[in-house]
Amino acid sequence: MKITTFNVNGIRSAINKGLLEWLSKENPDILCLQEIKLSETELVESLFTDLGYHCYWYPAIKKGYSGVAILSKIPANQIVKGIEHELYDSEGRIILAQFADFQLVSAYFPSGTTGDVRQEIKYKFLDDFLIYAEKLKATGTPLLICGDVNICHKEIDIHNPKSNAKTSGFLPEERAWVDRFCECGFVDTFRHKVKDPHHYTWWSYRAGARGKNLGWRIDYIFAANMLPESIQNVHIHSDVMMSDHCPVSLEFKL
């Protein structure tokens, strides 16, 4: 089975840049999306159902902002939107799909780059998300958590760790949270398979960062309650230019 996660930075923009054609070619069984930035999801749903996907949307209340989705060729047994937290849920940050043999989360973690208020919200979200994820893990059912975490874990995951040491997304407290998350049994599937540097999933639009590969790896697929050998392949699609992020795909078997 193949699962792809992608922060599209606006789903209509990504569609205009070739998302549907790319999706037809790659043909993932499940596509997790972040930053769909679309409230009127019915405007695009038929484009994905025509490709064989069941569409589960969770937009933000604010138009043109945030929002997540799960598009799946396998119908979900249950969809749970949000975690019963007013702020996070109003921003459309977490959607859970329960399938027969596994459970899957598409998540868009807050950014703290706009200042101290949002950074504090991010820290609170991290604490709350760990509690949420541990409850899902405690069921014993295989669990995949996909999305834009807005944190580079280690120096290998960012192009210039020294100059970014005090930048939101690479702060010691944020990196320590990823340490703790992994210690709780959540496997960073990409780093499970790939140990070398210069693999990134986000690039600034400024200063030609993408062409120079001056990036950050902030998009992840975490796995829990799965045998290590079930993780077959993980790929960062750095050549896909529809967003400031690129897709990440995981092939696995249960």
Output the pLDDT for position 35: 99
Q: What local confidence, expressed as pLDDT, does residue 244 receive?
A: 98
Q: Is residue 145 classed exposed, middle or buried when 0-12, 13-18 and 19+ CB atoms within 10 A define those classes?
A: buried
Does 192 participate in catalysis according to the annotation?
no
From the candidates 153, 159, 199, 245, which is the catalytic residue?
245
pLDDT at 9: 98
- Domain residues of the chain, as ranges? 2-252
CB within 8 A of 9, min separation 6: which ones?
35, 37, 243, 244, 245
How many C-beta atoms surround the C-beta of residue 156 within 10 A? 14
Binding residues for Mg(2+): 7, 35, 148, 150, 244-245
Its pTM stands at 0.97
pLDDT attached to residue 249: 99
Confidence at residue 217, expressed as pLDDT on a 0 to 100 scale:
99
Nearest to 250 by CA among 96, 101, 145, 99: 145
Q: Mind giving me the DSSP string for 186-217?
A: -EEHHHHH---S---SEE-SSTTTTTTT-EE-
> Over the stretch 62-121, which tens digit does the pLDDT of each residue have?
999 999 999 999 999 999 999 999 999 999 999 999 999 999 999 999 999 999 999 999
Compute CA distances 52 → 20, 28, 48, 74, 245, whole Å.
12, 11, 7, 9, 25
Amino acid at 6: F
Which residues participate in the annotated binding site? 7, 35, 148, 150, 244-245
Instruction: Please say if the pLDDT value at position 193 is more than 90.
Output: yes
Phi and psi at 95, nearest 5°, equal -135, 140
Task: Calculate the alpha carbon distances from 56 to 44, 95, 140, 170 in Å.
Answer: 12, 8, 24, 31
CB-CB contact of 66 with 93 (8 Å): yes
- Is residue 159 part of the annotated active site? The answer reads no
Mean pLDDT of 54-68: 97
Q: Residue 88: what pLDDT?
A: 97
Architecture of domain 2-252: 4-Layer Sandwich (3.60)
Q: Which of 53, 148, 157, 199 is catalytic?
A: 148
pLDDT at residue number 254 = 87
- Secondary-structure percent of the chain, ordered helix, strand, coil, rounded to 5: 30, 25, 45
Residue written as tokens 């799965």?
226
Candidate list 56, 58, 108, 132, residue with the active-site label: 108
Average pLDDT over residues 140-154: 99
- Which ranges of 17-157 does DSSP label H, i.e. alpha helix? 19-26, 42-49, 86-90, 116-137
- 208 Cβ partners below 8 Å, 6+ apart? none
Whether the Cβ atoms of residue 192 and residue 224 lie closer than 8 Å to each other: no
Residue with tokens 């990134």: 200
- Residue 198 designated active-site: no
Percent of the chain whose predicted confidence (pLDDT) is above 90:
99
